[in-house]
A and B are shown apart, each in its own frame.
Chain A
Amino acid sequence: MARIRIGRWAWLLVVALLATMLVFSACGGGEEEKEGTPQATKGGGATPSAGDTTGVTDTQILLGGHLPLSGLAAAWGVDLKAGMDAQVAYVNDNGGVYGRMLKLIVEDDQYTGPLASEVVRKLVEQDKVFAIVGGLGTVPDSAVYKYLETNGVPDMLMLAGLSKFTDPVARTRFGYLVDYTSEGRILGQYIAQNFPGKKVGFIEQNDEFGQEGEAGLREGVKDGNNEVVVESFETTENDLSAQVSRLKNQNVDVLAIYGEPIQATSAIKNAHETLNWQVPVVITGVDAVEIVGALAGLDNIEGTVSVVYAHQVYEKDVPGIAQHLDIMAKYGAGKTPTNLTLVGASIIEIMTKIMQDAGPDLTREKMLDAAEALCGWTPSAGVAPINMSPTDHRPNEVESYVRATVDRSTDPPTFTWQLFGDFVSFESTPKCP
């Protein structure tokens, strides 16, 4: 076919179309709302209309989730989903919520913003879910949280610890992970109390996770007069020997690490084993898991301090953990329980409790009220009670310090994270009404 000759009339049409678009967009979205954020104020956000029963029928409650099931972070998403699915099956086997069966649809967002926003829109507009639960990742959650807020869809128990998600408080949005700034702060406080005046070397991931940790840590060490020097790495870097070496050359006295288990263990192993530099190490709660023992080497990890807000999956004596192992055995289709399956199951457990508290006439409003009223209740794997209120949408605000402990009396030696010291609470709702 030949070139399309745009004749006189076609050009007029195109110009007219563009002009109308120009006029419309100039009159509308452009100038008037320029003052900025419409609904980001405290306690604000679009609230669902009273009696909003989207996703709820007489027999079923439809929940949605967006997790990375393929790509870079698939390891997390697959385990989380397994835990969530198993818990849902367990709840349904035990009568559901007031006779309504739970149905969970989890879509794959590959840990990217654009895909997350696509699948969340699908869940909201096509599947018409009641609520989104356990959305994972700072990047995907950042892409969708405002959309969910503007459309009044509850964004429950987000698996991302950015402070901006829970401060300022939005009516429909609730966190779950301890936010990174608070965690950094209490780690910093530990350093200030135990290593006053010493130089701190902080290794951070070059993204919001690491930067919030740094901000929190700097706040925490204020009383201890500690100097903080920072090294960073990209998420794909697995070997931190260069950063550790540089910090050693700057004569730091304490090492603090905000990264994933692989990077944290690389740094610890490098410092303690390769460089024979027995520097005390403090790491983020994300790394307080069992696998770091084997990865870093028991001798190297011993003595490292971290924080936890829940029990670990290897603590078989804790009733909540034993129950999780049971549920996974029965409904988990053969998947091995890990800390991630535990988190997934806990999310569904808490969501079920909230929906139960909301009563048999389930609406979004009632569910949000119940969530804000949840106080003094400890989930089965939790370490401290969840206290929330209309101004506090953070369920996990109590942590305990843990120390990496090696018990050499057994063969092979057992590795656990032992709780020590008092619980540290940055609870915004200290007392329940």
Chain B
Amino acid sequence: MAEFIQQVAIGLATGSIYALLALAIVLIYRSTEVVNFAQGEMAMLSTFIAWSFLNQFGYWQAFVLAIIAAAVLGGALERVLLRPVEEGPVLNPVILTIGLFTVLNSVALWLYGGDPKPFVAAPPFRGSALDVGPVVISRANVGVFCTAVVVMIILYALFNYTKIGLAMRGTALNRTAARLVGIRAGRMLTLGWALSAAVGAIAGMLAAPVLALSTNMMLAVILFAFAGAVLGGLTSPVGAILGGLSLGVIQNLAATYNPTSSPIDLPVAFLVIIAVLMIRPTGLLGKRTVRRV
């Protein structure tokens, strides 16, 4: 029993990393209806930028600077590259983000080299591991979990209780109508990307102590983040957390209690996702869109 709880805790820890990145994905999807494959690489690059700042500044200064840099990068990418393809065939933005993925990964390799770099955890999350009953969990992992929940609350509040959030949702649903109502659609899109890049940067900086900072840091994470976001519903921040955490737990339990002799955690995890999607085709908490014909 103790092992079960420990493995669930580890699964939650892994899952919070997925959840944090999934929040960024949901943010972009909710405000621009684009699935951003380059999310992980943007996060990774921002973390490298933070790492380079760490040499000169303290942790929090570097943290904030990296978030600002990420937001600027995200907004610029949207304005320059995404704008031309947003109003065309629906697959084109996806293809563009795949191209961006490759570019960012390669640029990071060129700028920072291939050796993995150690990255310190945020000050509140340093120190010895936490011992809670049968569970031993590192503070860095706890940090990721807490931050994910906080960011989720902020995003939820943003989308549902602020004017800007409403404007962003409106732009995503129907750009022309939003313009007619007086919303600067372009600005909303850029804002969506900037915010999402910032969330990605936070995800990267918190995950780096656990995953080690390297150009391949986010390769596996982004895929699970997508899966988690889809599991929870691409339009719901709460769903992103739920999906990411569940995915982490399911994956770990599947690995721990595997009756066969070779690993099957991936197929099991994804079978669960498919099963959930069969019952709720837009994810656990996603909104079903009804189109008027």
A and B touch in the complex (CB under 8 A): yes
Is A262 a contact of B116 with CB atoms below 8 Å? yes
Is A274 a contact of B106 with CB atoms below 8 Å? no
Across the interface, which residues of B come within 8 angstroms of A13, CB to CB? none
In Å, the complex CA distance between A206 and B115 comes to 22
- For B6, the closest partner residue in chain A by CB is A245
Is A234 a contact of B266 with CB atoms below 8 Å? yes
Is B212 a contact of A262 with CB atoms below 8 Å? yes
**CB of A204 to closest CB in B, whole Å:** 10
Is A262 a contact of B214 with CB atoms below 8 Å? yes
Is A74 a contact of B114 with CB atoms below 8 Å? yes
- For A76, the closest partner residue in chain B by CB is B114
Is A295 a contact of B212 with CB atoms below 8 Å? yes
A residues with a Cβ closer than 8 A to B are 70, 72, 74-76, 78-79, 206, 232, 234, 236-239, 241-242, 245-246, 249, 261-262, 265-266, 270, 273-276, 291, 294-295, 336, 338, 340
Is A75 a contact of B10 with CB atoms below 8 Å? no
Q: A241-B10, A336-B113 are in contact. List 15 more A-B contacts (CB 8 A).
A: A74-B114, A74-B215, A75-B115, A206-B263, A232-B262, A239-B211, A241-B14, A249-B3, A274-B136, A291-B115, A291-B116, A295-B116, A295-B212, A338-B115, A340-B114
The 25 sampled A-B contact pairs (Cβ below 8 Å) are A70-B106, A74-B105, A74-B215, A75-B214, A79-B113, A232-B263, A234-B220, A236-B216, A236-B219, A238-B217, A241-B141, A242-B7, A242-B11, A246-B256, A262-B116, A266-B210, A266-B211, A270-B138, A273-B138, A274-B138, A276-B129, A276-B136, A291-B116, A294-B118, A295-B118
Is A239 a contact of B114 with CB atoms below 8 Å? no
Is A72 a contact of B216 with CB atoms below 8 Å? yes
Known: A75-B214, A232-B263. A245 touches B114 (CB 8 A): no
Across the interface, which residues of B come within 8 angstroms of A234, CB to CB? 220, 263, 266
> Is B109 among interface residues, defined by CB-CB distance under 8 A?
yes
Chain B residues 1-41 with CB under 8 Å of chain A are 3, 6-7, 10-11, 13-14
In Å, the complex CA distance between A266 and B138 comes to 12
- For A79, the closest partner residue in chain B by CB is B114
Known: A74-B109, A75-B114. A242 touches B3 (CB 8 A): no
| Majority secondary structure of chain A interface residues (helix, strand, loop or mixed) | helix
Is B102 a contact of A236 with CB atoms below 8 Å? no
**CB of A117 to closest CB in B, whole Å:** 22
In Å, the complex CA distance between A229 and B291 comes to 55
**CB of A247 to closest CB in B, whole Å:** 11
Across the interface, which residues of A come within 8 angstroms of B255, CB to CB? 242
> Is B97 among interface residues, defined by CB-CB distance under 8 A?
no
**CB of B212 to closest CB in A, whole Å:** 5
Is B212 a contact of A238 with CB atoms below 8 Å? yes
Chain B residues 200-233 with CB under 8 Å of chain A are 210-212, 214-217, 219-220
> Is B235 among interface residues, defined by CB-CB distance under 8 A?
no
> Is B190 among interface residues, defined by CB-CB distance under 8 A?
no
- Contact partner, B129, options A74, A249, A265, A275, Cβ 8 Å: A275
In Å, the complex CA distance between A266 and B211 comes to 8
Known: A234-B266, A265-B212, A273-B129. A242 touches B109 (CB 8 A): no
In Å, the complex CA distance between A373 and B210 comes to 49
In Å, the complex CA distance between A74 and B118 comes to 20
- Contact partner, B106, options A74, A242, A266, A276, Cβ 8 Å: A74
In Å, the complex CA distance between A99 and B220 comes to 49
Chain B residues 220-266 with CB under 8 Å of chain A are 220, 252, 255-256, 262-263, 266
